Amino acid sequence: MTRVLVVEDEPPLMRALEINLKARGYDVETAPDGAHALRRAAARPPDVVLLDLGLPDMDGNDVIKELRGWSRASILVVSARRTSQEKVTALDAGADDYITKPFDMDELLARLRAAARRVKAGKPAVGTAVVETEGFTIDLLAKKARREGRDIRLTPTEWHLVEVLVRNSGRLVSQQQLLQEVWGPSHSTQTNYLRVYMAQLRRKLEADPAHPRHFFTAPGMGYRFAP
Ligand code: CA
C-alpha cells in the first residue's frame, strides 16, 4: 500500500485530500505544519509527501531540504505560489513535482500515481546481502564482517541492528522502529539501549568512532546508515 503524508494547514482542504486518497486505497497520514510533518515522516517513512509551502511554522522549502537529508519519499508540492521562480526554488530544494492551487483532483491523483511509481521503481533490490564501504565489508547472509582485513565479531543484537539499518540504507530509521524491530514492542522507549549498541557498532566498524562516516545519529529522531 502506498503511504502518503499530506502536509496542509487548511482543514477543509486537508479533509478533502484525506477523503479522496483514502477512498482510492492510499494509506494516508496528515500533518498541519512542518514540525509535525518531519516527525511523522521520521516515525513512519512515507512513499509520497504532498506538501503545501505556506505553513504556519516554517517554509515548505525548508521542509523539503530537511526531508531530502534522510528521506527517499517523492515530494509533490501543492501550493498557491504560481510563479516560475517559486516553482524552481522548490524543485531546486529537492521537490519532485509541483502542482498549483486551486488544482483539479483528477490531475493531482494522476501526479500522485506517477510519484508513487517513481518511488517504487527506485527502491533498492530486496536482499542486498553484501555491503562494502571503504572501511569495512558486511555480509548479512553469511554474518561476516571484515575491517582492514580482519574479521570483526558482532553479537546477534548488533547484527540485527545492522540489518535493519542496511535494509533502510540512506534513510533515517526512527528510534522506535529500531527498538521495536530489534528488542520488540515492549522496549520501544529504551533509547539508552540504542546509544550503547550504536557506540559499540561504531567502535567495531568505524575507522574513527567519534566521527562516524557510516552510522549516523539524527539526535532525538533515529539513526541512518550510509554505505
Ligand atoms: Ca497553507
For residue 84, count other CB atoms closer than 10 A to its CB.
7
CA–centroid distance, residue 55 to ligand 1 (Å): 5
Please give the helix or strand (H or E) that residue 134 lies within, else none: none
pLDDT of residue 62: 94
For residue 56, count other CB atoms closer than 10 A to its CB.
9
CA–centroid distance, residue 63 to ligand 1 (Å): 13
CA–centroid distance, residue 23 to ligand 1 (Å): 23
Domain extent for 167: 130-225
Is 199 found in the same domain as 167?
yes
Nearest to 9 by CA among 68, 50, 65: 50
Is 41 found in the same domain as 134?
no
CA–centroid distance, residue 52 to ligand 1 (Å): 6
Listed residues 80, 100, 121: the one ending a domain: 121
pTM: 0.59
CATH of the domain at 210: 1.10.10.10
Q: For every one of its 227 residues, what pLDDT tens digit does the chain have, with 9 covering 90 and above?
A: 899 999 999 999 999 999 999 999 999 999 999 999 998 988 888 999 999 999 999 999 999 988 876 777 899 999 999 999 999 899 888 898 999 999 999 999 999 998 898 887 765 444 456 888 888 999 877 788 999 889 999 998 898 899 889 878 888 888 988 988 888 777 778 888 899 999 999 999 999 999 999 999 988 889 999 88
Is 152 found in the same domain as 117?
no
- DSSP E strands in 130-171: the ranges are 130-132, 136-139, 144-147, 150-152
CA–centroid distance, residue 40 to ligand 1 (Å): 18
CA–centroid distance, residue 13 to ligand 1 (Å): 10
